[in-house]
Amino acid sequence: MLDGAENIYDLVILGGGSGGYAAALRAADLGLSVVLIEKAEVGGTCLHRGCIPTKALLHAGAVADSAREAAKFGIRSTFVGIDMPGVSAYKDGVVGQLYRGLQSTLKARGVQVVVGEGRLRSPGEVAIGQAGLRGRHILLATGSAPASLPGLVIDGDRILSSEQALQLDHVPGSAVVLGGGVIGCEFASLWKSFGAEVTIIEALPHLVPTEDEDSSKLLERSFRRRGIAFHLASRFAEAAYTTSGVRVTTESGTRIDAELLLVAVGRRPVSAGLGYEAVGVELDRGYVKVDEYCRSSVPSISAVGDLIPTPQLAHVGFAEGILVAEQLAGLDPVPIDYDGVPRVTYSQPEVASVGLTEALAKERYGADQVVTLRQSLVSNGKSKILKAPGEIKLVRQKDGPVVGVHMVGDRVGELIGEAQLIVNWDVLPDEVASLIHAHPTQTEILGEAHLALTGKPLHAHD
């Protein structure tokens, strides 16, 4: 019998990823009794097989690029190569430190963590083997897994998922990346930095297709300069082993040979075989259907994170977990405005955005009610020092607030905090223009772009 299995907890959480553990920590802070069930390690995909290890690899790639390009800054250096075991040790060290910290935090907050594979038994109970844990409320947070395409088997040998690619013990000589979204572009970028030849196949007309079209075009231009090949509006047909790797064929007949194929066509919710539908939880294509407070069709059950059809971002999972916990504790939390969620693709260059794209703004407000401004980072002193070209684009409701900020360039992900406040607080351009930004910083570009939008450009030029 599990420790405490006879108790009825205020909250039983199935899944210890971003959404699950955020809910556990917040609920415990609010005085609720909480048990968290996780079959592997708390932290989930983000910490162990996604966000953190991927960004560690991307940073290692950036260091390699800096070594190659040191002469641009008058520094003499020699780039010898990539020590993949050393890179992996660095990556695993980062993950390990964060994992131990999370374990300690959960323990300190009084969250009981149960290691095991849980299954929903009833609207108020989760089974782990023959034992069960009962709760006044149950939170489903079982996350997602890498998706594939019909007929394409991810075997972990030459055809890999993103999670398997993180465990490679060598740098592939060449790779085809199937999917030009965030995951695909990040892996293409880091592998290119490590010295691989990379080709992306994307079915839609642009890379990072959910971003503003101008941002996508800028990333494509940068990838061309870096020597990353890509085929847009190109649909996958088949993949077959060759004597030395794998051959990928598109529907148009294009054939690309490489050592490895990375399948980065998205992630699917993990909900099958867990008892959800049997208990009455309504699903749609595997996703749990929820309302604006993440409540499912069963009153005593909520769901968060990649399990529901909201943006598959760790910080969205955090926010949804906190929302559920505060709702259960009797607070009056505000539902999440998903338009206001910041998004970053950590490729080289980075793509960062918050709010509406120009196309969505015109669709929502009308084409004649939308004003845009594009400003190059070439006029920004710090970007010039860093030799980091790029661009910022503002999307404004005519005579109203800025409803979208879109940026492309090195380190622009670090600018998204201020951009997020601008969009979420319905700020008018002249209100941002009146703020004084430190010089020389990249964040100046936000201030100067708003100056230009109000008709008072400073350093902006064509």
Instruction: Label residue 30 exposed, middle or buried (CB < 10 Å: 0-12, 13-18, 19+).
Output: middle
Residue written as tokens 């661009």?
Answer: 391
316, amino acid identity: V
Please tell me which residue in 48, 406, 439, 459 is annotated as part of the active site.
Answer: 439
Instruction: Label residue 111 exposed, middle or buried (CB < 10 Å: 0-12, 13-18, 19+).
Output: buried
Sequential DSSP letters for 58-94: HHHHHHHHHHHTGGGGT---------HHHHHHHHHHH
**Rounded distance between C-alpha atoms, residue 329 and residue 89, angstroms:** 41
**CA distances to 136, 304, 311, 365 from 301, in Å:** 9, 10, 20, 36
- Which H or E run includes 154? none
334, amino acid identity: V
Instruction: Label residue 65 exposed, middle or buried (CB < 10 Å: 0-12, 13-18, 19+).
Output: middle
- Residues 198, 228 contacting (CB under 8 angstroms): yes
Bond preceding residue 440 cis, omega within 30 of 0: yes
Q: Is 437 annotated in the active site?
A: no
Residue 42 CB neighbours (<10 A): 22
Torsion of Cα atoms, 451 then 453 then 459 then 462, to 10°:
180
**Rounded distance between C-alpha atoms, residue 319 and residue 22, angstroms:** 8
Phi, psi of 236 (to 5 degrees): -70, 140
Taking CA 46 as the corner, what is the angle to CA 320 and CA 120, rounded to the nearest 5 degrees? Answer: 60
Provide the 8-state DSSP code for 437: P
Furthest-apart CA atoms within the chain: distance in Å: 71
Residue 461 CB neighbours (<10 A): 9
Residue 82 CB neighbours (<10 A): 17
Q: Which runs of E-coded beta strand occur in 40-181?
A: 112-115, 118-122, 125-128, 131-140, 144-146, 159-160, 174-178
- Residues 344, 204 contacting (CB under 8 angstroms): no
Catalytically active residues are: 439
